[in-house]
Amino acid sequence: MQTKIPNERKTMNEIDLTQLKNSKKVLVSRILGGYGLQKKLETLGIRIGCKIEKVSSHMMRGPVIIKIGNTRAAIGYGMAKKIMVREKEKV
């Protein structure tokens, strides 16, 4: 039985990482996972408010490759689905 995550509602202009097009730069707005997922992503440098770029993804729910600063990381589809992002505001 799955439990509902209370902050699962999407806000305006917010999508998950799997829906993002390749080579787009975005800000991480929320992480919908629990403590373990947040710590795992934090070790990769993915935190709320950080800038990331989606480099590529594979068909049929394969890994998603992202760029954080000068580092590239491959994360699974399920993990990427729980990372909510929004486009950077133009200054």
Q: Please state, in angstroms and rounded to a whole number, the distance separating the CA atoms of residues 41 and 32.
A: 12
Q: Is the pLDDT of residue 43 over 50?
A: yes
Give Cβ neighbours of residue 27 (< 8 Å, ≥ 6 apart): 49, 50, 51, 52, 85, 86, 87, 88
Q: Is the pLDDT of residue 22 over 60?
A: yes
Measured torsion, CA atoms of residues 40, 43, 44, 49, in degrees rounded to the nearest 10: 90
Sorted by where each starts, the structural domains of the chain and their CATH numbers stand as 20-87 (2.30.30.90)
Mean pLDDT confidence for 2-6 = 46
Amino acid at 77: Y
Read off the pLDDT of residues 53-78 as tens digits, 9 standing for 90 and up.
Answer: 999 888 788 899 999 999 999 999 99
